Structures are given as structure tokens and as C-alpha cells.
Structure 1
Amino acid sequence: MKLKNNILKFGLAAGICVLATTSCQDLTDLQPADAFSETTAFSSAKRAELSVIGMYNAAQSGNYAGNVVRGYPFGAAAIEQGDMRGEDMVNQAGFYAITNESTYTPTTANNVWMWNTLFTLINQANITIEGVQKAGTEGLITSEAALAYEGEAKFLRALAMHELLINFSRPYADNKGAGVGIPIRDFAVNSPATVEKAVGTGRGTVAEGYAFILKDLDFAEANLPATRAGNLKIVRAVKGAAIGLKTRVKLHMQDWAGVSAEAAKIVSASAPFTSAIGGYKLTATADGPFKNMFSEEALFSIENNAQDNPGVNGALAAMLGSPALGGRGLVVVSPIVYNLPAFKADDSRRNLMVNNGRSYFTTKYSDYTNRSDNAPILRYAEVLLNYAEAEVRVNGVTSKAISLLNAVRGRATASGVYALSDFSTPKDLINAILIERRIEFMAEGKRWGDIHRLALDADYSTGGIPAKMAYGNATFATYNFVTNPALTKNIAAIPYADYKFLWPIPADELARNPTLAAQQNPGY
């Protein structure tokens, strides 16, 4: 009974937070002053709208140990951890050393709170789905509004589930998704009966997880609006965001034809590439998406502003910015990516860094005072590069693939634009696309996703978690793309077969759920 009570308390707290009009600070308070009860949250169109907004708040700044609001699950935490698991950023402080050095355990906070806040977001999405379905049936909101709200909830649920899969499960390429995935929870945990159901829900397969994600995104695409007024078109899910996320998910599934089919919905047949849905296009310059966080390149971002942000422990500029500019300087750019031969001297993306005489910090996020930088979850540049890779995987070296790659690369470097004759094999072109992803998305948390999905690729795998430079090795002299000095990588690589390639399921989850206790990732 004590176990059930603990799970119920956790489940109810996760559920009630979705009804709050501001962030839930106290998980033990099941009826915060700024919240509606579940029975009234969807009783009118206005309350339903506020309840839906609560999901986005959970995505922005979930509750971290001791109820401290930080950038979990889709703020600075996800971005820094995605980089710290790779080799292109260097950990400067102790904050993400555990992730960077792969010393995580079932009780280390960084991985524990990614699991907890992602499942809290999923539970909030499930409560919203059930709430708007009921409200639509009862005529409290229109059927069109009910479907659109459900689409938003399923978009966020899909985003959360994919983040869980790439951190806690082996990639889809490992035996076509037959490996152990994550628990699929498509119901709200908010009563003794649903607690019982949750406890009995074990881990499905990776393939089942991906199928569930795609079903959610198909629903979202069908029911979300093509656009919204003003900035809401970027910080609230829309049709193009669901399509763009499907290109990412299908890339992880190695469904190359599927990537192309989805991308073609929002990418014109020829350059300059634009989208008839949502009006997406690349900004004219590489710094455009960061000078204007609400630019036409953003398909979906997590909003932050002066009044609502994850605080000094979760805001992007605070966490990644140079101390000389007002940041904490926890993570710096690595010489590994800085010295890449493909990263040309005239590449304007080099201007999105600043040095302090010792290291280079990203300046993609620059509001050190108000912490209003949005977390970029999905940009049009990613869709174009997803499309380019899929095109080569299916059709080999084509002018279309070159054009898609050059659209992203060409706005940053005149000397680095590629010609068809530059590539004699598809392998060479795909390698160029993968390197371009590292340069373009540096300090955006996307490196781990590529390492994970390519782990078993015969041509492009890093072999597991790659070797990395420790901060002490990354002295200013090592940043030199002209001489490209030999780099010392004191943080050892971890082979794909090693258990540390995956994060462990948190100990507190195992204590609550005996079914999952028998399904911990091996080695922990």
C-alpha cells in the first residue's frame, strides 16, 4: 500500500501541474493556489487553453531535485547534455562532468531528472488529451479545438518519448528496433486504478516506441493549425513542426524514403527552399536564427522571457555564456570541432563564438540579463540536412542533395560551397553532410542524437561514445584550424557494447515501479 501511495502522490502531482497557469513549485501541494482542479480545468474554453499552456511550461522548466526550477527537460539541460555526451563541446565546470565523463549511476541527478521530467511531461500530455476529449464530447469546447489541443499534447508527448528513447534505449538500427524501449504510457496516472495500470506497464520494444511516436505525430499533423498568430507559431506546436519532427524520427529509423516524403511537404522542389506550410525558410545569415529567436527558420522552440525562464541554473545564456559577458561558462566549444577542415576560415558561424584568451564560448544565446533566449528544438536547417542525407542514401550523389546541403552551408561560407564534382561516392557526400550538422548545430544539443542513430553504421559510427578533450587539454593553443595540431583526448571513448552507452533507469523510478525494477538497463 505504501508503494501505491507513493506512486499515486507522484502521479497526481505530475497531473495537477498541467492545470497550473504558472509553474508548479511544490510537488507535494496537490492543489496549488494558481491551479485548477482536474475536474474544472477543462470546463470552459478559457480554462482549457490555460491548461494546455501548462504543458509547455512543463517542457520548459520541470522540477529538479528539491523543486529548483532548471532547464529540464527541454531547456538548457537537454541542450547541454546532448552536447556533453558528444565530443564537440568541453565541460569546464563540475555541473555536467558526470554526463561528460559517463560516470552516471541510477542516482546521479542529470540523468535522473531527465527521466522524471520527461515522464511528468508525458503524464501532463495524457491528462490534457483525456480532458479535451471529454470537453469536446460535452460541448464545452468545439470539436475542432479539442482535436487541435490533442494534437499539441501528442506533439509534446512524441518529443518527450523520442528524447527518452535516444538516452535510455539502444538505437532503432540495432536489430530493427527489437531491443528494449521505454514504457509507453498513453493514459493519465491520476487515480489508484491508473497507478495500478502504470505499475504493470513494462518497457516495450524500441520499434513499438517509434511506432507510437509516429502515430502521435501523424495525428498532430492532421489536426494542428498550419500557423498561429505572431510568435505563437513557433512556441506552440503547428503542422510544420509535426512534419519536421517526423523527418528527425524517421532519420533515426533509417527510413530514408520516409524522411524524403515528409520533408517534401515543407521543402520546395528547388532552391531557394521554402515551405508552403508555415512559410518556413532559412534566414539570410547563419546568425539569423539567434538574432531573432522567432525567425522564419524556427519550426518549434521552447519560449523563455524575462518573466518566465528556467533561472540562472537553466537559461541558455547563463549556462553556456562567457563569464566575461555575464554567463556561467559551464561548457565551451571544443578544438575538435573548431579545427575541422570543413569549418572554413571565412565561415561566419565562427563569429557565433567568443574567446576569453583561454577557450571559445558560444554566443548563440546572448540575453545574460533577462534570460529570454528560446531553446531551439527544431530549425528549418535541420529539415534540409535531414532531407539531404536521405536523398543521398536513396539516390546517391545528386544535384538535389548538393543543393540542400549548400543552402545551409552557403549562407555561412562562400569558399566552402560544394559542387557535384567534389564527391565521387555517396559515402563522401554523406560524410560532408554529417560534418555540416556538427558545425551548424554546435551548442544546440544535437550531437548525441547523431552519435546514437549512427552507432552501428559501417561508415559513420563513432564506435560508441567518442573520446573527448578534458578542459585541461583544451588550452588556447589547441584552437588552431590552420595548423590543426594533434589533440589530447583524456576522456576515454566508451564502446557501443559497453553498458554506459545508455543511461540507467533512475533508482527512484525502480523503487516506485517493481515491473521496471526487473528491466533496468544491464550493467547498472
Structure 2
Amino acid sequence: MIGAVLGTALGLLAVTSCQDITDLQPADAFSETTAFSTPQRVELSVIGMYNAAQSGTYAGNVVRGYPFGAANVQQSEMRGEDMLNQALFYAITNESTYTPFSANNVWMWNTLFTLVNQCNVTIEGVQKAATDGIITQDVALGYEGEARFLRALAYHELLTHFARPYSDNNGANPGMPIRDFAVVSPATVDKAIATGRSTVAENYAFILADLDFAETNLPATRTGNLRVFRSVKGAAIALKTRVKLHKQDWAGVITEGNKIVSASAPFTSPISGFALLPTAAGPFQNQASAEAVFSIENNEQDNPGVNGALASMMGNLALGGRGLIRVSPISYNLKEWPADDARRALLVKDARSYYTAKFFDYTNRSDNNPIIRYAEVILNLSEAEARASAAPVSPRALALLNAIRGRGLASAVFAAGDFATKVDFVKAILVERRIELLAEGRRWADIHRLAPEAAYGTGGIPAKMAYGNATFATYNFVTPPTLTKTIAAIPYSDHRFLWPFPADEVSRNPTLATQQNPGY
């Protein structure tokens, strides 16, 4: 974290952006003393946060979509079992052989904390700009809401990789160091170094306070595609349903979810205008649709490149992708996934295996990264309703589940009588998440939060198939074969369930050097 921000915090504050999320022209970098000196520069500084979220660097100078341009999806899928690795590039993540020196986890840490610091710089900058009369207080609060939304998103991503889940020890385990100030000087570097790890519970309280602030101060909507690419009130609420689901605060998920999910189908949001599209392919064919709650924009001029873009890394070789991440037979053969489910049309095959077709701009690599879709919000609320209900099957949870499942295949919707117990019902919701959110980077997050639960979790990192074992014959959902999983499971108690802090971080930060995750 100190290593991640020292290079950019001292000296010039980068506020440039090539993204087409506003009509403003890209500007040169400004020092932190001038970046907030005019309303136009304040706006550019805010846009710079989104650029930091989309295109942090990998290995120091190569843009590969860290943390949220694409890398969060690819790294999270490779930590799970539902996608198949075909590249040395992802083998360390996929096979859990990471170290404090391995690039993928090191740069996820570095770019996430760089984003946190840029958010903090922006918060302090817009507050001062309001005090100095450069912008109004209302405008400053809106900008601060955007910064806090992104800071919350970054911290939650850090927790899912570098800390134990909230359900383990009720959040009392070590979490992340909380940074609520900008590291821009030797004095603030010293302050940062002196701050050790907070607890997971303290981190969640910090994240939720940020999102409460964002909900209060963000606009309900924005013009055009900016509703998708810059945070709005409904997106802050949606992210709270995810965070509270990880906290196992079922009542909290229901409270937040009910703000943006109507009482009955067709489910829509009275805030920010979210809605499910009628087809499973719709959210990917129109990436700025009502189903897109918040996405990171990629476009022809500004994207993670051939070595990082979603279509490139996860796309069919025959169509112009690199084919490095494929769909595993483990997910393809799920018995709960009907053969004629429309979501199977979001897969494309070659002579060997299947790829996702959710991302398909192989030429310009402009597929947006869908950070939160309304479909996830519906499933978050469904699970919380099911868990909180005293009945084996909550009618509202069932209706929400069927809204997602029925879109893929109307005849496959569930009836309450299909489930003998509440556990069976919750398991059906969890499997539906695997089907609906396949290749969107949510699998590891679910493995992480559920791991300590005997009824629902995998008990750790699940066993996986290696590419060499996944011949075309292994893809068979009609008569599923016994799959060979040569990448062994890792129990939850193993230190490899967590990523290590980077070596450069602990070498620069004596406080964190004594608080490294055990086993590293």
C-alpha cells in the first residue's frame, strides 16, 4: 500500500483520462495543489478516480485492467473452479501457488490501494474546493459520494482476497488497514505506516459508512451512459446488498434490496430505474441497459489491451480471442442448468471446449466490465429472504429466484414443493448464482463468504480441472462423466485460502511486516 502510492502521491496527481465518460478533453497531470483550483479541474480529478479503477498498471508500466478494468473478473474466476485455465499467466492464481512476489496478487493489492489513495485525494480536494468557493457544497458532496463509492468497492475487493470472511469469528479476524486520508507527503506516509490492520468488522463498518454517505449524496440518475459509468444512488444501495450479504446481515440485505426492488414481478427499481431485461443475452448486447447498475467503461481508445481485455482473455481463439480462460466442464455439466436454458447460448465452442460469449468485441476490446448487474441484486435479495425466513421456502425469495431462472427458460421455474428443506432451497439460489453470473468474477466472492458454512460452502478452495483433463468429451450435461480434477482442493484452514501481502509492501512498511497473513 505504501509502495503502491508513493510513486504517484508524491509529485504529480494524475487526473488524466482517455475514457469517453464525459465530453471533457483529456488534460495534463496537475499537482495536488492545482488539481482542484477550478471547477473544470475538479471534474477532471473526479474522472481520474474512474480511470484509476479501470486502468492501473501491471508490473509497473503495463496497463492490463487492474483492478477493475478486467483483472478483478479474471483473477476471481481463476481462484474458483467454474472456469478453466489454459495459460501460464493465470496458473499461479488458478493453482494457488502465489507468493508475496507473484505479479497477479501483488498488482491487485497495489492498484486497489492506489485507487483508495486517489479517492482520498479527491475527497480532501473537493472539500477544500467547496471551502474556497470554487464549487458549491452540494457539488462537493456529490463528488465525495463518488469517491466513497469507489473506495468502498476497492476495500471490499481487498477483503475477499486478503482477509478471512466476516462469518469466521464474526468479523474479529484481521482485515485491511483503513486509509481515510490522502498519502501525499512525508508526514502522511509516516501516518500510513503507523496504521496497522483493522478487524474485518471494522472494515465492513467503514465500507458501509462510505456507501451510506454515497446513497445520501449521489444523484438518482445521470444523463445517457453516465448512469452506468459513474456511480448513482441506486448503485450505492446495490453494492450495500452485496456487502451485507457477505456480512450475513440478512435483514440488512432485505432493507437495502427493498429500496431498489419492487414488491412483485416484473421487478424494477424506483431509484435509478434499474430493471431486468427480458432476455439473458440482453445485458451483454446492450451494456448500458437498465440492467447495468454500475460498470467500468472500456472503449476503443482506452481498454485493458490484448493481454487483459475480457473478450481477449476469455474469448474463442477462432473468433479473435486468446482463449486463455475457458468454461470448465464443472460448471457446464451442472445438473441444475437445463439443456435448453437460453443462458447456454452465451457459450461458444471450439473443437476442444467452451468459452463465454458475454464479451465479444475481439477487435476493439471495448466490452465494459459489469461490476454490478441488477440480476445480482435480485439474487442477493432472494438469498437473504430465504435465509431470514422461518418457512422452508419464502414466497418472495422464490419469486425473485424465478425471475432470474425463468428468463433463461420459463418452463424451468421452481415451485415451493420442489424443495424438501430450507437448505435445499438456499442451495438452489447459490447454484443459480453460478449459472447467471458465470464469467463475471463473482464465483470467488461466493466461495470466500460461504467457506466456513458446512451446509453451503466448499470448505475451502475447491478441486479444479486442469486444461489437459478437459477434452471435448468431458462437456456433457446429459450424461455427465466423472471428471478428473488434478488441481487438488485446499481446505479453508490452509494459509493459501488468502493471498499474501506483497513483499515490497512489507519491506517498506514495518507495521504490516509484523501483520503479514500467516504462512507467508
TM class by smaller structure: over 0.9
- Equivalent in 363, 383, 391 of residue 357 of structure 2: 363
- Equivalent in 402, 409, 414 of residue 405 of structure 2: 409
Aligned ranges 1:464-479 → 2 under 5 Å? 464-479=460-475
In 2, the alpha carbon distance for the partners of 1:102 and 1:482 equals 32
In 1, the alpha carbon distance for the partners of 2:238 and 2:471 equals 38
1:522 Cα offset (Å): 0.4
Is 1:435 the counterpart of 2:431 in the alignment? yes
CA spacing shift, 1:53–1:17, aligned 2, 3 Å: farther
1:9 Cα offset (Å): 9.2
In 1, the alpha carbon distance for the partners of 2:4 and 2:511 equals 18
- Equivalent in 335, 345, 348 of residue 342 of structure 2: 348
In 2, the alpha carbon distance for the partners of 1:223 and 1:15 equals 30
RMSD, aligned CA: 1.6
1:266 Cα offset (Å): 0.1
Contact 1:22 1:34 (8 Å CA) reproduced? no
Q: Residues 126-155 of structure 1, C-alpha deviation per residue, up to 9 Å, x if partnerless?
A: 000000000011110011110000000000
**Which amino acid letter does the alignment assign opposite residue 188 of structure 1?**
A
In 1, the alpha carbon distance for the partners of 2:449 and 2:204 equals 13
1:22 equivalent in structure 2:
17
Aligned ranges 1:150-189 → 2 under 5 Å? 150-189=144-183
Contact 2:8 2:14 (8 Å CA) reproduced? no
Aligned ranges 1:49-448 → 2 under 5 Å? 49-395=43-389, 396-448=392-444
In 2, the alpha carbon distance for the partners of 1:201 and 1:329 equals 42
1:33 Cα offset (Å): 8.0
Q: Residues 147-201 of structure 1, C-alpha deviation per residue, up to 9 Å, x if partnerless?
A: 0000000000000000000100000001100000011000000001101101101
**SS of residue matched to 1:299:** strand
In 1, the alpha carbon distance for the partners of 2:18 and 2:448 equals 32
Q: Residues 418-474 of structure 1, C-alpha deviation per residue, up to 9 Å, x if partnerless?
A: 112112211111000000000001100100000000011120110100000000111
**SS of residue matched to 2:176:** strand
Contact 1:235 1:301 (8 Å CA) reproduced? yes
**SS of residue matched to 1:90:** strand
Contact 1:79 1:444 (8 Å CA) reproduced? yes
Q: Residues 259-284 of structure 1, C-alpha deviation per residue, up to 9 Å, x if partnerless?
A: 00000000000000000001101011
Q: Which runs of 5+ in 1 are unaligned?
A: 1-5, 25-31
Contact 2:495 2:518 (8 Å CA) reproduced? yes
Contact 1:478 1:485 (8 Å CA) reproduced? yes
Contact 1:123 1:187 (8 Å CA) reproduced? yes
1:64 Cα offset (Å): 1.2
**Which amino acid letter does the alignment assign opposite residue 519 of structure 2?**
G
- With 394-403 and 373-382 compared, the bigger mean Cα shift is at 394-403
In 1, the alpha carbon distance for the partners of 2:394 and 2:75 equals 35
In 2, the alpha carbon distance for the partners of 1:10 and 1:260 equals 37
Q: Residues 56-93 of structure 1, C-alpha deviation per residue, up to 9 Å, x if partnerless?
A: 01100101113000111012211011111111001011
**SS of residue matched to 1:180:** coil
**Which amino acid letter does the alignment assign opposite residue 20 of structure 1?**
V
CA spacing shift, 1:239–1:432, aligned 2, 3 Å: same
**SS of residue matched to 1:378:** strand
Q: Which runs of 5+ in 2 are unaligned?
A: 20-25
1:28 equivalent in structure 2:
none
CA spacing shift, 1:16–1:176, aligned 2, 3 Å: farther
**SS of residue matched to 2:198:** strand
In 1, the alpha carbon distance for the partners of 2:265 and 2:100 equals 48
What percentage of aligned pairs have identical amino acids? 71
- With 383-392 and 7-16 compared, the bigger mean Cα shift is at 7-16
In 2, the alpha carbon distance for the partners of 1:470 and 1:12 equals 38
Count of equivalent residues: 512
Is 1:459 the counterpart of 2:455 in the alignment? yes
1:414 Cα offset (Å): 2.3
In 2, the alpha carbon distance for the partners of 1:441 and 1:179 equals 29
Contact 1:129 1:153 (8 Å CA) reproduced? yes
In 2, the alpha carbon distance for the partners of 1:422 and 1:16 equals 62
In 1, the alpha carbon distance for the partners of 2:354 and 2:450 equals 28
TM-score normalized with structure 2 length = 0.96
CA spacing shift, 1:18–1:224, aligned 2, 3 Å: farther
CA spacing shift, 1:254–1:184, aligned 2, 3 Å: same
**Which amino acid letter does the alignment assign opposite residue 462 of structure 1?**
T
